[in-house]
């Protein structure tokens, strides 16, 4: 993207939205998970990231958030890239969260060594009940050495039932801040890294780290992430990483259709539609 001023009158009333933004220094990112095709809800997010970067003569990164090998395919990577071209959106850089898996693993080593994360072997149903009731896991007081040992076993594929959780506040009124899961085991082939990794970071852990690492200055997110803003900042603060500004925008909702990729995938896999390009779908 060219680093120059734009005189488009459509931009005039939006130039003060990103408080403190400076010309030529704005870096945004559009981070779709390659688990389906782009739909009109994604278009809003992509357009906002693209045009705010353009408005300030900055750049936009297209980053594929590929931290869950169970749902992701190269087919979706290729089609998302193609659909953005159709929309006239030309990212300045294309990256993958998986490009940084080794770096993210190193950050988890650091978080554990600082005492801010612990290994947990509680089953999913019980963990959910404990989080709902604000009950601390019996594994929360494990030693740093024990947590580090188990994490290394997870990475080697030798502790598949464990996960790594952030040690936050199990009595927080916002439930997503009650010791969220930051790493989990997935015995699946990844579309880009194959079977190299046995444990993968969650979006909540990987996103702020990669945003900071890639030089993002403004992370534009829909308002559904508002409760997770404190979690995003917590990761950056505990790991002493470069700060990133958060900007929230309203989520696009439509009637007489669905925008959930999970629901759209159910229609496709059930043979109820002609595929992701079915004209009844809200996909690009």
CATH code of the domain in which 187 resides: 3.90.800.10
Give yes or no: residues 157 and 23 share one domain: no
Residues 125-149, mean pLDDT to the nearest whole number? 97
For 269, the token pair is 């896999």
- Tokens 């916002």 belong to which residue? 174
The CATH number of residue 43's host domain is: 3.40.50.620
> Is 19 among the domain residues?
yes
Residue 3 counted as domain residue: no
Are residues 193 and 113 part of one domain?
yes
Q: Is the pLDDT score of 9 beyond 80?
A: no
33 flagged as catalytic: yes
39 pLDDT band (50/70/90 cuts)? Answer: confident
Average pLDDT over residues 75-101: 96
Residue 232: give the domain boundaries. 9-100+206-269
- Could you tell me if 82 and 215 lie in one domain? yes
pLDDT value for 3 = 44
The CA-based dihedral angle spanning residues 41, 42, 45, 50, taken in that order and rounded to the nearest 10 degrees:
-140
| Listed residues 201, 226, 246: the one ending a domain | 201
Residue 89 and residue 230 in one domain: yes
In this predicted structure, which of 13-22, 59-68, 194-203 has the lowest mean pLDDT? 13-22
Instruction: Say what percent of the chain tops pLDDT 90.
Output: 76
Question: What is the three-class DSSP state of 164?
Answer: strand
Which of 145, 175, 201 marks a domain boundary? 201
Model confidence, pTM: 0.89
Same domain? 119 vs 196: yes
* 4 part of a folded domain: no
Tokens of 253: 């909702």
Closest CA to 245 of 254, 257, 233: 233
Residue 1 falls inside a structural domain: no
Instruction: Judge contact between 58 and 82, C-beta under 8 A.
Output: no
Q: Assign 174 to helix, strand or coil.
A: coil
Choose one of 169, 201, 233: the last residue of a domain: 201
Q: Per the residue annotation, which of 73, 186, 251, 265 is the catalytic one?
A: 251
Tell me, yes or no, whether 13 lies in a domain.
Answer: yes
Give yes or no: residues 145 and 188 share one domain. yes
Same domain, 113 and 197: yes
- In the set 25, 33, 146, 248, the catalytic residue is 33
Shared-domain flag, residues 64 and 112? no
Residue 248: predicted pLDDT: 93
Which residue in 59, 105, 184, 261 is the catalytic one? 261
Measured distance CA(215)–CA(44) in Å, rounded = 22
In a domain, 106, yes or no: yes
For the beta carbon of residue 207, count every other beta carbon within 10 angstroms: 26
Residues 114 and 76 in one domain: no
Please state the domain count of the chain: 2
Residues in the chain: 284
Looking at the structure, tell me whether residues 36 and 160 fall in a common domain. no
In a domain, 279, yes or no: no
116 is a domain residue: yes
Q: Which pLDDT tens digit goes with each residue over 114-130?
A: 999 999 999 999 999 99
Angle, helix 229-238 to helix 203-213, in steps of 10 degrees: 60
Average pLDDT, the chain: 92
Same domain as 75, residue 15? yes
The answer on 169 and 231 residing in a single domain is no
User: Is 214 annotated in the active site?
Assistant: no
Is 251 considered catalytic here?
A: yes
Percent helix / strand / coil, the chain, rounded to 5: 40, 15, 45
């Amino acid at each position: 993207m060219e680093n120059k001023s734009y005189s488009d009158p459509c931009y005039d009333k939006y130039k003060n939205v990103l408080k403190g933004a400076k010309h030529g220094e704005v870096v945004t990112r559009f981070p779709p998970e390659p688990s389906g095709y782009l739909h009109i809800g994604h278009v809003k997010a992509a357009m906002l990231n693209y045009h705010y970067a353009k408005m300030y003569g900055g750049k936009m990164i297209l980053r594929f958030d590929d931290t869950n090998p169970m749902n992701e395919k190269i087919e979706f990577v290729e089609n998302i890239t193609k659909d953005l071209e159709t929309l006239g959106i030309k990212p300045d850089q294309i990256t993958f969260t998986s490009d940084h898996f080794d770096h993210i693993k190193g950050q988890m080593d650091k978080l554990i060594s600082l005492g801010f994360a612990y290994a947990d072997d509680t089953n999913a149903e019980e963990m959910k009940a404990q989080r709902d009731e604000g009950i601390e896991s019996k594994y929360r007081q494990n030693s740093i050495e024990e947590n580090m040992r188990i994490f290394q076993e997870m990475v080697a594929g030798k502790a598949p039932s464990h996960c790594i959780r952030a040690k936050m506040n199990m009595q927080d009124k916002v439930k997503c801040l009650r010791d969220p899961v930051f790493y989990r085991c997935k015995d699946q082939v990844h579309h880009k890294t194959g079977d190299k990794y046995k444990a993968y970071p969650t979006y909540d852990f990987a996103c702020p780290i990669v945003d900071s690492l890639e030089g993002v200055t403004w992370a534009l997110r829909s308002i559904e992430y508002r409760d997770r803003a404190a979690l995003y900042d917590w990761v950056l603060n505990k790991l002493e990483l470069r700060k990133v500004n958060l900007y929230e925008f309203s989520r696009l909702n439509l009637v007489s259709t669905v925008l959930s990729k999970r629901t759209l995938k159910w229609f496709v896999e059930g043979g109820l539609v002609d595929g992701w390009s079915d004209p009844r779908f809200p996909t690009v």
